[in-house]
Chain A
Amino acid sequence: MILILEYFYWQFIEIPKRLSRVFLNLMWFGYKFFSIKYCFETLFSPWRKIVFVYKKGFDLGNRLEILFNNAFSRFLGFLMRVFMILFFLIFELIVILIWIGLVSIWIIIPIAAVLGIFISYSLFQNV
C-alpha cells in the first residue's frame, strides 16, 4: 500500500517538481544570457559608449550634428536592446511550452500505458 502511495507521489509530484526545476533554470539562463537586467538598466544608453563631445565655442551646425550623432548612438543602443528583450521573450515562451508539454506527457504516461494495454487487448479480442 505504502509502495503505491509512494509511486503516486513520485510520479505526479516529485518528478514534475524536478522537471520544473530544470525549466526554471533554463528560464533563469535566458534572463542571464540575454542580459535582461542590463538591457533595461541601460535601455537608452549610447551604443558601446560612443558619444561625441561638443567643441568649444558656439557653432550651431556642429552642435546639431553632435546632438544628432549622440541621439543616433542612443537610438541604436535602444534598438539592439529591444531586440534582445524580444529574443528573450521568444526564448522564454518556447521554454514554457516545452515545459508544459514534457510535464503533461510525463503525467499521462502511466495512464496512457494502462489504457493502451486495455484498449489494445479488447480490440485484439474483437478481431
Chain B
Amino acid sequence: MFDLKKTKINRGITTKFFLYLFKTLRVIFFFAFLIAVFYFIYGFMADNFPLELAEPILFSAFFSFSCFLLFFNLAFFFDDALRRSKVINGDIENNDINLADFLSINAATRVKKAINFAKKKKIEVNSSILLYFLLNNKNRKIDFILNRLLISKKLLLSRAKESMLYTKDINEGTGLSYDLTSIILEAAKASIRRKGFYIKTADILSALSKIEPNFKELLRRSKLKKEDIDNINYWQEHLLRRVSENKKWWHKDNLSKFGSVARDWACGFTPTLDKYSTDLTELVQRLGFVEIIGHENERAQVERILIRDNDNNVLLVGDDGVGRFSIVRAIAERSYLNQSLPELNNKRFVEIDMNSILTSSSTIDEVEIILDTCLREASCAGNVILVLSNFDNYLSDGNIAAKADISSLIAPYLKFSEFKFIAVTSYNGLHKYIERKPQILSFFEKIEVKESSKDETILILEREIPFLECKYNIFITYPAILKIIELCDKYIHDNPFPKKAITLLNDVCVYANSKKEKIVLDKHVEEIISEKTEIPVGKITADERDTLLNLEDLIHKRIINQVEAVNEVAASLRRARSGIKTKNGPMGSFLFLGPTGVGKTETAKALAEVYFGSETKMIRFDMSEFQTVEDVKRFIGDGNNPGLLTTDVQENPFSLILFDEIEKAHPNILNLFLQVLDEGIITDSMGRKIDFSNTIIISTSNAGYQIILNAIKENKPMDSIKQDILDYVFKQGLFRPEFINRFDATVIFKALTKENLLQIAELRFKKLQQNLLRKQINLNVPHKVKMQIVELSYNPEFGAREMRRVIQDKVENALAKAFLANQIKEGDTISINENFEITVLKRDYEE
C-alpha cells in the first residue's frame, strides 16, 4: 500500500512553511538581541544615552532573547519531530503496510511533487515522472551516484521530460505494469539491500534503474548493470553513516576509543620487549580505527583459539598481500574497543621485531638472551599477545648457515597457557620450514587465510578511494573500479586480492595525476595494465583490428601454402581478442604435424612477429632437451631454482610459446601440458600460479611424416590423411588421445611442391636482395636461377630446409667470395647465372 497523505512525514512536508518561518524568526530575534545588548553597552556603559532610554533597550533585549528561545525551540521541534520517518520493518510486501511511512523527508517531497504533477495532467504517476522530479533539484546523493557512473544528469533529465507523458512501465519478467506502489516497493528493497533504515532518494533512483526506460537504455549503453547503482548507493550511505556516527562522540563506540587507564596496572612491565617490538594496539590507537573488510570467519577463529587454555597459539598461513595482518589488526582493534571476546578485551598485541634483535646483537648467544627475556616478559606480563611475522624465516633445519633458528628457544613457552602467540607465515614457508619441525607445528592451530573475494575487494577499494582522491586531487569513477577488479583478476597473478587491486588503484591514481587528468577512467586502468603486462588490453585499437582482420594475408607474406594452418590460427586469435572465447586456457593452442622444413616453426615465428610485434616475443623450447624425469624440474622449477617455462611465461605473459619436437619430451612433461591447455594455469614449485591465458601455444612434431610423404608419392589428397597420422601417433604411443584433444586444432602441414619451393625461393632471394641493398648492391636473380635452385633442393623429406643449404652453398658463398676479392663493390648492380657465377652489370663509378 502507498498513501502519502496518511503519513506523519506528509505533515512534515505541509508544515515546511512554518519550519522556515521559525528558522527565519530565530535568526532575526537573535540578531535583534545582539543589537540591543550592543546598544545597551554602547549607550550606558560609555554614557552616550540618557538614563531614560536604558529601560526600553533592556526590555527589548530581554524580549528578543525570549522570542529567540521560543522560535529556536519551535524550529527544533518542527525539524526533529515532524520530519522523521518510520524505520523499515516488518514484511514490506504486506498490503497493510503503508510504504509511504518509510520515505525520508526528501524522498517524500519528490514523490509528492510527482503525484501532484500527474494529477494535474490527469495521468498515473510513471517512472519517468518520478525520475524527472528526482533529478530536477539539487541532490548531492543522486549527483554522487550519477557522477561516479559517468552518466549525464542533464541528458537523463531531458529524456525523462520528453517521455514523461507517454511512458508505460512494463515489468519484462511478469509482463505486468509498474504502478507507484510497486516502484516504491522496489526502492524499499534497495534500501534493505544496503541495510538502510529509510527509503531515500538514492533508493528510488536504484528502483528506477530497473524500471525507467531511458535510464535502462543509458545504463545499457554505458555497459553498466543495475547492481552497480545499488553498490554505489551502499558505498555512499555507508560512508555517510560512518562519518555521522564518528561525529556522535557520546556513542559508546566512540567513547571506547579513549581506552582505559588502569587496566594494565595488574600486569607486568615489559621493558626489553618494548625495546624490540612494535605495540600494535598503540599503533591502532595512534593511526585511527580502520574498518576491516572480509576474513570474518578467520578473525573469529583466531579469537576463539587465543582464549583457549591449551593450544592457544595461532599460525596464520596465507600468501603475501592476502590480508593476514588485517586480521591481527582487526583483533587488536576489537580488543582495544572492548568489542572482542571478554577474555581478549584490553590485551596488548605486540609484534616482536626479530630483525632489530638480530642486528643489535653480535653473537648468537646474545640473540638468545634478548629473545628469551622478551618471551619471558610477554609470558609473565599477563596481557601480552605476541605476533611474529615471517615466522618461517626464523626456523631452519641446520642446512642454511645464515638462518636463525628460534625453535628450541620458543618451544618451551608455546606450552604455557599464559603465553599467547600469533605466527604469520606463507604457504611456501609452511611447507619448506615449519612442516619440517613437527614438534613446533603441533603447538599451533593452523588457520589458512584465503584471497578476498571480488565483492570484498570492491569494498576495500571504496574504503581507500576518499584518501587517494584527497591526496591526488582526482575523481575516481566506478567503471574504473570495476575495470581494476576485472583486469587484476584476468592479468595479474603474482599477488592475491586485495593487494593487487590496491596496488593497481594506487598506480592508476599516480598515472592519472602525472598526466594532469582529474578523472580516473577505465581507459587509464587499461593503459596501466597494458604497460605492466605488455598485453594490449581494452578496446581493440584500429591497428590491431586491421592486423586481426588481415592476419592470414600478413602471415602468408612469410609462409607459402599451409592455408589450413594459417586460417585456423587466425580464426582462433580473432575469437580470443573479440571477447567471444568461451573456454579457459591459452588464447590458442595448436599441434602442427608435418615433415621437416614445411614451415611449422616459420608459421609460429611469423605469428609472433605479426601479432606480438616481434619474433623475440616467442618463447621457444626444443623439447628434445627435456627427455628425462629430472627435466620436469628444469621445466617448472624445484624448491631452489625457478623453472625455465614458468619464469619465461611469468615475465612475458603475452607471448607465443613454441614447443619444438614435442614428441621427444618426457611423458610427465606432456602430462603437465594437460592442465596448461585445459585451465591456462600452472602452479610452479614456488607455489606461484602462472597464467597462460594470454599466450598462444604451438607444439610441432614430425611424427607420422612418412604417411604424408607416401601420400605425395601415391597422389592421395592431403585432407584424407589426417586421421591416418593420428592413428599412427596413437598406435606408436607418441601422444595420448586426451593430449591431442586438448589442442584447439591439430593442423597437418602439407609437404611442399616444386611450385611452393619456387615461391619460397623468391622469398629467400628477396631477403638476400634486401640485405645486399644495405651495402648498396643490386642483385638480379633470373627466373632460370630460381628454377635451378628448386631443382637442386627439391627433396620432400627435407622440405624447404634443403633450399637454405643450396642457396648458402651456391649463391651466398659465391657472393661472399666475390665481395672479398673486390669483384663487386658498393653501388654495383650484379647478376647471377645458372652456373652461379656473378657478373657485374653496372658500376656507378670507375676506379
Contacts and interface: CB of A to CB of B under 8 A. Distances in A.
Interface string B512-547: 000000000000000000000000000000000000
B394 interface: no
A49 B261 contact: no
Contacts of B66: 112-117, 120
B477 interface: no
B267 A49 contact: yes
A58 interface: no
Given A35-B262, A123-B59, A25 B252 contact: yes
A119 interface: yes
B65 interface: yes
A69 B382 CA distance: 21
Contacts, number: 114
B250 A6 contact: no
Given A25-B252, A116-B62, A109 B265 contact: no
A113 B80 contact: no
Contacts of A77: 265-266
B69 interface: yes
A113 B59 CA distance: 14
A123 B56 CA distance: 8
A114 B251 CA distance: 34
B323 to A, nearest CB: 30
A26 B250 contact: yes
B255 interface: yes
A38 to B, nearest CB: 6
Nearest to A122: B59
Contacts of B69: 109-110, 112-113, 116
A5 to B, nearest CB: 11
A70 interface: no
Given A26-B250, A49-B382, A110-B73, A33 B266 contact: no
Given A34-B260, A48-B265, A114 B70 contact: yes
A127 B250 CA distance: 48
Interface in B376-393: 380-382
Interface string B69-103: 11011000100110000000000000000000000
A29 B70 contact: no
B114 to A, nearest CB: 27
Given A6-B81, A117-B70, A124-B59, A84 B250 contact: no
Contacts of A65: none
Interface string A15-31: 00000001001101100
B261 A34 contact: yes
Contact of A124 (B63, B251, B265): B63
A6 B252 CA distance: 29
B467 interface: no
B252 A28 contact: yes
Nearest to B52: A127
18 contacts: A6-B81, A29-B252, A29-B255, A33-B255, A33-B259, A42-B266, A48-B267, A48-B269, A50-B268, A80-B262, A109-B72, A112-B66, A113-B66, A113-B69, A113-B70, A116-B63, A120-B60, A124-B60
Interface of A: 6-7, 10-11, 14, 22, 25-26, 28-29, 32-35, 38-39, 42, 45, 47-50, 77, 80-81, 84, 109-110, 112-117, 119-121, 123-124, 127
Closest 7 CB pairs of A and B: A116-B66, A120-B63, A49-B268, A113-B69, A113-B70, A35-B262, A29-B255
Interface of B: 55-56, 59-60, 62-63, 65-67, 69-70, 72-73, 77, 80-81, 250-252, 255-256, 258-263, 265-269, 338, 380-382
